[in-house]
Chains A and B, each alone.
Chain A
């Protein structure tokens, strides 16, 4: 565990180091980099769902003054990637509506857009299938679910236990397609030179972009540089290389000038990934005292015909509660849709909406308080692996939350508490997210003046990572924060894992601590005298060896107050409380923002977010911010965030658990449970819109 003798800053609520730059607009985001001779790209998207492009007529577009090139599958350079979402403009087949079928490059963005409107594409259309249905006959079982979990698990005899259980529930919960919509849409500038290609790109891991671009264009990775110091949010959608990155590099190659390509908001609903819709059947069987005898969680969700993405929706159910008989399954429909992908807490987020709604229903069926039900089903060991939990703070969070929220005085009877025309209810749900880490490398340097720098290709996508890693580095080096300079977001720096899976701090921090400790050892060898040329060391942070012996997770409890208008069905959530047990908190200020942001996104999921598919056209028709609703400030009441200190020695040198995702896990269930308590109406289909409550 890192500790600093004199200036400890880990655990202090420091302001973001890059805060002043961000709020004054001087932090340079991908699209803002000044590049000479730059050109602008605008895409043409397919206007049908499935079939073949018969012809593309670009003459009108090319005739527009200022249009430099129109790239299509007929003239685009051949890529080394010929399958999946990244094989852009490589064939005349179309796999979903909105797929890129051409790209116009022009002297200005406006002319590029005008050119894109002028490209005429003729298609031979084939019948399509875009609607997810649980009863569909061609569902299939994927080999594994994201990223490498078993698809199905079973232990004991679930069917027999359910049949014999004195109390059982069997309900189906659905969540809609939801789209990642970071404030900064995906954007890339690609610039070729004799050294290769340089990208200014908005992403969650520059090395990952570099590797894909190198692969697609058959380049040595060293000939691709990706620069991404500032990123305006990602939520998973910037966690892999998206098609526009490949197109940008391709276009810059063709026109021999740098190309800028930013997705418009409408594009985000076709080519940036999204959360799959889910259909989840949950069956719970319990004794009269609420002790679970059986848990079954069966999930149906979608993937595309281009490549497989299987969300791990039921995986969380494998470790959450003790029950001797358990089964989980995932089945996929391969549809003519864009490939779903990561969106904040893929798996845990939709899965826990279903499980934690079902636990609420079971508590009611058992006549038990929902907190007590969860406490009674708290496992001693991870039910799936049999390993002990390195730390498991769920019960502590529930108890602390109950106190803080005023849960004790709650009358469980639904629909009896009101304030004027507003019915009032409260609900609770559990949160969890795995704690993991992945290999990363960091360099630590000190120069003759005693200035330290730490180099690692980490990503700060708005989380505060730059600040937190600087705190970790300062403590590990045992020097004042002001003497440490951190460089991130560039593939010239040592490889860091991506900002995903709530693994950033653990992965990067471990490498930084290793490097810092090595540098201190080197300094000691030099008897504390820095040589003229300074010192430099490299630290490697690997996988967590303890993960083989322990189940490592963060936990939390979320409480919601919901108000439902009797006349209109409008739902308001004046109060949310989240209590988390997430290891040692590195920076209470940035950590609070992570939890708060997650819970706000969970509120948005509960009440608003829904991508609406028109089966005839095959695309999401509400593809802008007027129609795809995200919670506004006015929807967010008081959000109280707190945590329980944990000292878990089995994780990483910092004792940190990832906190980027746990905040969104459980919020929607807590709100749905509160809405039930307010009204007596159980909403099992998100979002909870007023029409579902209007009687």
Chain B
């Protein structure tokens, strides 16, 4: 743990300007992840710019029928929001399956997206970790990796992204709105988080000094029928071993549209485009659901301890689809 400077930002542009000058600084939202990492010495910023009180704390309807979620909206507020609960139930379910009531009261929407990936070796500065110390090695690959990635991992890193909320948002094609030193830009959430590749130290494509101001949800009418199903090692308060967010539209027994994302299986919330492609236009039957799951998981590269995640992910996806069509019928 190192001493650091703490500043409370009065407005977004001064927050961005303040941080842009300090390459090792960081924004502080709810602090539910950053403060842990500070204590452990995993991250040692010289400056924390507290942005939690910036006025991005509203949930608004957009003219196109979508919804704008302010970056500082707390997870508990978002989960309880009537619009979210009725139009995007899987997002509310995902939020409520994450963390604890106390943590959700603190955690912000923007901060939730920026949680660092998880791995016991990343969190222990007495051990090597490519993410923390580039080039030091990945002990997880040969070590404890029961809860780590089966998809999209690299030789350098097999950590998993911990967010539940992000899994639902990725399935919903959410768009991240960002304010940076060079102005505003938008980033589709599906390309916001990075696969580890050779440089696992970066979890997202965000540049230093860029501040998330909002997350936009497009209108997806059929998302009113959606589920988030999370499987973990205990009934509450644990990271997902596998989770899945699913929204489906059935027309005359045929899947006319579908959104699927997995959590707990990769360095990013994993959009299951292959499974979606199998399903779109196909009959909504268990056999097709199985084929969709198998197609998505064909690329899985499980390790010694986490091979169970492959059948687990398949079973969870198939069962969630079956539960959803039962509801539709």
Asked if B235 contacts A622 (CB within 8 A), the reply is no
Is the C-beta of B1 less than 8 angstroms from some C-beta in chain A? Answer: yes
Chain B residues within 8 Å of A627, by CB: 120
Asked if A612 contacts B234 (CB within 8 A), the reply is no
* Interface 9-residue window, one of A109-117, A134-142, A161-169, A487-495: A109-117
With A614-B143, A690-B312 as known contacts, state yes or no: A629 contacts B234, CB within 8 Å.
yes
Asked if B234 contacts A621 (CB within 8 A), the reply is no
What's the nearest-Cβ distance from chain B to residue A186, in Å? 18
Interface string of B197-221 (1 = CB under 8 A from A): 0000000000000000000000000
Asked if B234 contacts A632 (CB within 8 A), the reply is yes
With A113-B1, A621-B120, A690-B241 as known contacts, state yes or no: A568 contacts B312, CB within 8 Å.
yes
Q: What is the bound-complex CA distance between A570 and B315, given in angstroms?
A: 12
With A567-B315, A690-B312 as known contacts, state yes or no: A629 contacts B139, CB within 8 Å.
no
Asked if B234 contacts A631 (CB within 8 A), the reply is yes
Q: What is the bound-complex CA distance between A321 and B312, given in angstroms?
A: 41
Is the C-beta of A691 less than 8 angstroms from some C-beta in chain B? Answer: yes
Asked if B233 contacts A621 (CB within 8 A), the reply is no
Chain A residues within 8 Å of B46, by CB: none
Chain A residues within 8 Å of B143, by CB: 614, 616-617, 621
In this complex, how many residues of chain A approach chain B with their Cβ under 8 Å: the count is: 34
Chain A residues within 8 Å of B236, by CB: 632-635
Q: What is the bound-complex CA distance between A623 and B235, given in angstroms?
A: 20
Q: What is the bound-complex CA distance between A629 and B316, given in angstroms?
A: 22
Asked if A629 contacts B233 (CB within 8 A), the reply is yes
Asked if B144 contacts A622 (CB within 8 A), the reply is yes
Q: What is the bound-complex CA distance between A110 and B44, given in angstroms?
A: 13
What's the nearest-Cβ distance from chain B to residue A111, in Å? 8
Interface residues in B125-176 (C-beta closer than 8 Å to A): 125-127, 139, 142-144, 146
What's the nearest-Cβ distance from chain A to residue B314, in Å? 9
Chain B residues within 8 Å of A651, by CB: none
Asked if B1 contacts A635 (CB within 8 A), the reply is no
Chain A residues within 8 Å of B239, by CB: 626
Q: What is the bound-complex CA distance between A284 and B238, given in angstroms?
A: 39
Chain A residues within 8 Å of B315, by CB: 567-568, 694
What's the nearest-Cβ distance from chain B to residue A185, in Å? 14
Nearest to B242 among chain A residues (CB) is: A568
Q: What is the bound-complex CA distance between A533 and B234, given in angstroms?
A: 61
Asked if B319 contacts A608 (CB within 8 A), the reply is no
Chain A residues within 8 Å of B241, by CB: 690
Chain A residues within 8 Å of B308, by CB: 690-691, 694
Chain B residues within 8 Å of A572, by CB: 235
Interface string of A594-636 (1 = CB under 8 A from B): 0000000000000110001010110001111011010111110
Q: What is the bound-complex CA distance between A624 and B124, given in angstroms?
A: 11
Chain A residues within 8 Å of B39, by CB: 113
Interface string of A104-123 (1 = CB under 8 A from B): 00000010011001000000
Asked if A110 contacts B237 (CB within 8 A), the reply is no
Is the C-beta of B3 less than 8 angstroms from some C-beta in chain A? Answer: yes
Asked if A612 contacts B144 (CB within 8 A), the reply is yes
What's the nearest-Cβ distance from chain B to residue A637, in Å? 9
Chain A residues within 8 Å of B144, by CB: 612, 614, 621-622
What's the nearest-Cβ distance from chain A to residue B142, in Å? 8
Asked if A47 contacts B126 (CB within 8 A), the reply is yes
Q: What is the bound-complex CA distance between A317 and B75, given in angstroms?
A: 52
Asked if B1 contacts A117 (CB within 8 A), the reply is yes
With A622-B144, A626-B239 as known contacts, state yes or no: A635 contacts B316, CB within 8 Å.
no
Chain B residues within 8 Å of A607, by CB: 234
Q: What is the bound-complex CA distance between A261 and B3, given in angstroms?
A: 21
What's the nearest-Cβ distance from chain B to residue A360, in Å? 24
With A117-B1, A621-B143 as known contacts, state yes or no: A568 contacts B316, CB within 8 Å.
yes
Chain B residues within 8 Å of A45, by CB: 126
Q: What is the bound-complex CA distance between A627 and B119, given in angstroms?
A: 10
Is the C-beta of B41 less than 8 angstroms from some C-beta in chain A? Answer: yes
Q: What is the bound-complex CA distance between A624 and B318, given in angstroms?
A: 33
Is the C-beta of B311 less than 8 angstroms from some C-beta in chain A? Answer: yes
Q: What is the bound-complex CA distance between A114 and B2, given in angstroms?
A: 6
What's the nearest-Cβ distance from chain B to residue A132, in Å? 17
Chain A residues within 8 Å of B312, by CB: 568-569, 690-691, 694
Interface residues in A418-472 (C-beta closer than 8 Å to B): 421
Is the C-beta of B231 less than 8 angstroms from some C-beta in chain A? Answer: yes
Interface string of A565-588 (1 = CB under 8 A from B): 001111010000000000000000
Q: What is the bound-complex CA distance between A624 and B119, given in angstroms?
A: 12
Q: What is the bound-complex CA distance between A568 and B142, given in angstroms?
A: 25
Is the C-beta of B262 less than 8 angstroms from some C-beta in chain A? Answer: no
Interface residues in B110-131 (C-beta closer than 8 Å to A): 118, 120-121, 123-127
Asked if A617 contacts B3 (CB within 8 A), the reply is no
What's the nearest-Cβ distance from chain A to residue B313, in Å? 10
Asked if B1 contacts A616 (CB within 8 A), the reply is no
Chain B residues within 8 Å of A612, by CB: 144
What's the nearest-Cβ distance from chain B to residue A570, in Å? 6
The residue in B139, B144, B239 that gathers the most chain A C-beta atoms within 10 A of its C-beta is: B144
Interface residues in A333-375 (C-beta closer than 8 Å to B): none
Q: What is the bound-complex CA distance between A629 and B241, given in angstroms?
A: 13
With A567-B315, A694-B311 as known contacts, state yes or no: A617 contacts B139, CB within 8 Å.
yes
Asked if B231 contacts A629 (CB within 8 A), the reply is no
Q: What is the bound-complex CA distance between A114 and B234, given in angstroms?
A: 35
Chain A residues within 8 Å of B126, by CB: 45, 47
Chain B residues within 8 Å of A570, by CB: 231
Asked if A110 contacts B231 (CB within 8 A), the reply is no
Nearest to A568 among chain B residues (CB) is: B231
Q: What is the bound-complex CA distance between A389 and B173, given in angstroms?
A: 70
Q: What is the bound-complex CA distance between A626 and B143, given in angstroms?
A: 18
Is the C-beta of A689 less than 8 angstroms from some C-beta in chain B? Answer: yes
With A114-B1, A617-B139, A694-B312 as known contacts, state yes or no: A689 contacts B120, CB within 8 Å.
no
What's the nearest-Cβ distance from chain B to residue A647, in Å? 41
Asked if A635 contacts B127 (CB within 8 A), the reply is no
Interface residues in A70-110 (C-beta closer than 8 Å to B): 110
Asked if A690 contacts B233 (CB within 8 A), the reply is yes
Q: What is the bound-complex CA distance between A343 and B8, given in angstroms?
A: 46
Chain A residues within 8 Å of B142, by CB: 616
Chain B residues within 8 Å of A623, by CB: 120, 124
What's the nearest-Cβ distance from chain A to residue B112, in Å? 16
Asked if A634 contacts B231 (CB within 8 A), the reply is no
Asked if B319 contacts A421 (CB within 8 A), the reply is yes
Chain A residues within 8 Å of B124, by CB: 621, 623
Q: What is the bound-complex CA distance between A114 and B44, given in angstroms?
A: 11
Nearest to B142 among chain A residues (CB) is: A616
Nearest to B143 among chain A residues (CB) is: A614
What's the nearest-Cβ distance from chain A to residue B289, in Å? 12
Q: What is the bound-complex CA distance between A46 and B312, given in angstroms?
A: 39
Q: What is the bound-complex CA distance between A230 and B233, given in angstroms?
A: 33
Asked if B316 contacts A567 (CB within 8 A), the reply is yes
**Told that A626-B239, A635-B236 touch, could you supply 14 new A-B pairs with CB distance under 8 A?**
A110-B1, A113-B1, A114-B3, A568-B315, A614-B144, A616-B139, A616-B142, A617-B139, A632-B235, A634-B235, A690-B231, A690-B308, A691-B146, A694-B308
A-B contact pairs, 12 of them (CB 8 A): A110-B3, A607-B234, A614-B143, A616-B143, A621-B124, A622-B120, A624-B123, A626-B238, A629-B233, A690-B233, A690-B308, A694-B315
Lowest 10 A-B CB distances belong to which pairs? Answer: A634-B236, A634-B235, A691-B308, A567-B315, A47-B126, A621-B120, A567-B319, A632-B236, A635-B235, A113-B1
